Amino acid sequence: MRKLAVCIGVNDYPGTDRDLAGCVNDVKDWQAALSARGFETETLLDRRAKKAAICAAIARLLAAAAAGDLVVVQYSGHGSYIPDEDGDEDDGFDEVLCPWDIEQGNPLSDDELDALFARRRAGVRVVMIADCCHSGTVARVESDRPPRLNGARAPKARFMPPAVFMPAAARVKRRAAPPRAAEANALLLAACQDDEFSFETWLGDRPNGVFTRVALAALAALPESATYRDWYRAIRKRLPSRKHPQTPNLFGAAEQTAWRVLA
């Protein structure tokens, strides 16, 4: 069995004033954890993480995977939303990842990701780990290194307002909606709910995604027999918190959530 992974991290968002700080560190940490578990890993960082490059990397891994193999796609960066055009979203919006070239109008939507994952061969397992905001109604823009509050740097939301990359005519206010039914093409472990922010913060002078830090700490403490449901329960013991009000999510069929973690 082969275990293949691509880890994607975007701190630099040219043409915007919304750079992040912890996403490349997230990728380094995820890559180390995955490599220790036998994954063949590749990374796409900043300018290498254009939309076309991300799609090509995912397609390449899926083409290389055979029945019984495991493919992991890890992403840290901004998230946002765009109007839903095919009627499959209860709230009228598709969640999107924000590649390095987002300012050029290149969001990567959940529909596009699902279409990519659908290319997998029968028996190939796909897991996506996303540390980003999937949506939001208001964006609070903060500096690249937020000011210190009581000696600590303030958390920063990983949310890209649609106004940054969408024509004015397409900008509409998002409304809350009930959770969607799980998609079958991939298991998703997400940093927050569709209508929440995902935060990054600093431990000393090293920034990271809050979810990444919590998820990797939980992963290190799991027994070999642990399932994704077990991992998710361990994460939920620490998130949401008073300082970081984000509620991680696990989307997938019952069979998928019962898979052994990264095995």
Better-predicted residue by pLDDT, 194 or 24: 24
Q: Residue 200 is encoded by which pair of tokens?
A: 């990054």
Contact 47, 37 (CB under 8 A): no
- Residues 231-261 have pLDDT tens digits of 999 999 999 999 999 999 999 999 999 999 9
Residue 33 lies in a domain: yes
Choose the catalytic residue: 23, 132, 133, 192: 133
Using DSSP's 3-state secondary structure scheme, residue 251 falls into strand
Total structural domains within the chain? 1
Tell me if residue 134 is catalytic. no
- Residues 158-172 have pLDDT tens digits of 989 888 888 653 444
Residue 26 lies in a domain: yes
Banded pLDDT at 92 (limits 50, 70, 90): low
Q: Residue 169 is encoded by which pair of tokens?
A: 């005519």
Average pLDDT, the chain: 86
Residue 262 lies in a domain: no
Q: What is the pLDDT, as a whole number, of residue 161? A: 86
Give the distance between the most distant pair of CA atoms in the chain: 53
First CA to last CA distance, the chain:
9
Residue 224 lies in a domain: yes
Better-predicted residue by pLDDT, 195 or 247: 247
**Beta-bridge partners for 71:** 4, 126
CA distances, 6 to each of 39, 127, 189, 205, 225 (Å): 10, 11, 15, 26, 24
Residue 198 lies in a domain: yes
Residue 86 lies in a domain: yes
**Beta-bridge partners for 232:** none
Q: Which domain holds residue 35?
A: 3-257
d(CA 136, CA 81): 8
**Residue 176 is part of a domain; what is its CATH number?**
3.40.50.1460
Please say if the pLDDT value at position 227 is more than 90. Answer: yes
Residue 237 lies in a domain: yes
Tell me if residue 133 is catalytic. yes
Choose the catalytic residue: 7, 23, 78, 132: 78
**Cis omega (within 30 of 0) for bond into 248:** no
Q: Residue 139 is encoded by which pair of tokens?
A: 């964006």
CA distances, 77 to each of 21, 35, 50, 61, 202 (Å): 9, 21, 12, 21, 16
Residue 263 lies in a domain: no
pTM of the model: 0.87
d(CA 127, CA 250): 11
d(CA 95, CA 91): 10
**HSE of 69 in the Cβ direction (CA atoms, 13 Å)?**
18
Contact 75, 129 (CB under 8 A): yes
Name which of 9-13, 57-61, 90-94, 103-107 the model is least confident about: 90-94
Q: What is the pLDDT, as a whole number, of residue 25? A: 98
